Amino acid sequence: VGYLDDTPVVLIDLDAVDRNIARMQEGASAKGFRLRPHIKTHKLPFIAHRQLAAGAVGICCQKLGEAEVMAAAGIRDIFVTFPIVGRPKWQRAARLASEISLSVAADSLPSVQGLSDALAEGSEIGVLVDCDIARWRTGVASPEDALELAQAVESLPGLRFSGLTTHPLPEEAIEWFAQARSLFDAAGIEIPAISRGGTPEAAEATPIEGVPSELRVGTYVYGDRALLGAGIMPLEDCAMRIHATVVSTPAPERAILDAGSKTLTSDLADGLTDGLFGEIVGYPEPRIEMLSEEHGHVDLSARPGAFEVGQAVEILPNHACGVTNLHSTVTLHRSGVPVGPIEVAARGRIR
């Protein structure tokens, strides 16, 4: 994209985005999943609307603040996949629920009790009970605990039990959910949906039989070095690139870029062990081996003198979601044809 010469800048190829949206939607629909993309990757209402137009049933947000931005942009069905804890958040959730169809994940009684207390007459929030099947993050520990929390939800004014949710979905989940279904059946509670997340396993995912299944995926929309490295997305579909400039070549085996951890994050690429901070597209040998805050340190040992001051480079980032959250704007294009800059409206909405 030669029209951009002030760097560093984050470029998003809308053609690649559209391909990624279409492919994921087709795959999900073909298998009987309802697709609910996670907007944490792009934080752009513009792209969320494209995901909905392609057939998504709604969106996911990680934090309430993201959901508030998306609701203000006209999105009507949002699942906040994060525990809502504390009076300010219960009140914000209640306000949001009076405007849109809101559901949230929950794994504790205080969280759902607080939500119910904050809700105004006539408002409703859907609650998906978060299940800690992979034993790594949030969620209730057992199918018995899931039932207990679902029963509490059902008993609380304004709350509607909306299903079970987990991330990721390990093999033992099949057995876990089978047990849960027996328990819920015996208790006379229907499980309205099972929701699962994660781009890396989306291609292999199949719905749990007999229950409406939702698929939550985020990173597929942009792709990154982690997904490329895992063989899940080809380079040409990786829509996010950082254009940077070589600003110094202090030694033949070292070049310095104007993109450091404040541009690329310090995130490593999930699943890769090379310890690099991104890939310079078209240059397999130069290695981004270290970042200062504003400097990218490139090891040119394998190609001494390969870069010169002023040269433009294009970086495939390790982790698209982290990069999105650093930048107030990104610049859209279509296969190199400029579209223009756009504000990352939900950037930094961590509350």
Judged by the rule CB under 8 A, the positions of this chain that interact with a second copy are: 5-9, 40, 62-63, 82-83, 85-89, 107-108, 110-111, 130, 132, 135-141, 245-251, 256, 258-259, 261-263, 265-268, 292-295, 297, 309-310, 321-322, 325-328, 347-348, 350-351
Running DSSP on this structure, what letter comes out for residue 290? E
3-class secondary-structure state, position 7: coil
3-class secondary-structure state, position 117: helix
Instruction: Tokens for 299, please give them.
Output: 């090891």
Cβ 256 to a second copy shortest distance, Å: 5
Cβ 350 to a second copy shortest distance, Å: 5
Nearer to a second copy, 171 or 308 (CB): 308
CB 278 within 8 A of CB 288: yes
Rounded-to-integer distance, Cα 158 and Cα 164, Å:
18
Nearer to a second copy, 36 or 40 (CB): 40
Nearer to a second copy, 248 or 335 (CB): 248
Cβ 294 to a second copy shortest distance, Å: 5
In Å, what is the CA distance from 265 to each residue of 73, 132, 277?
Answer: 27, 28, 8
Rounded-to-integer distance, Cα 288 and Cα 275, Å:
9
Rounded-to-integer distance, Cα 299 and Cα 288, Å:
6
Cβ 110 to a second copy shortest distance, Å: 5
Cβ 176 to a second copy shortest distance, Å: 14
Nearer to a second copy, 25 or 244 (CB): 244
CA 276 to chain centre: 22
Nearer to a second copy, 86 or 284 (CB): 86
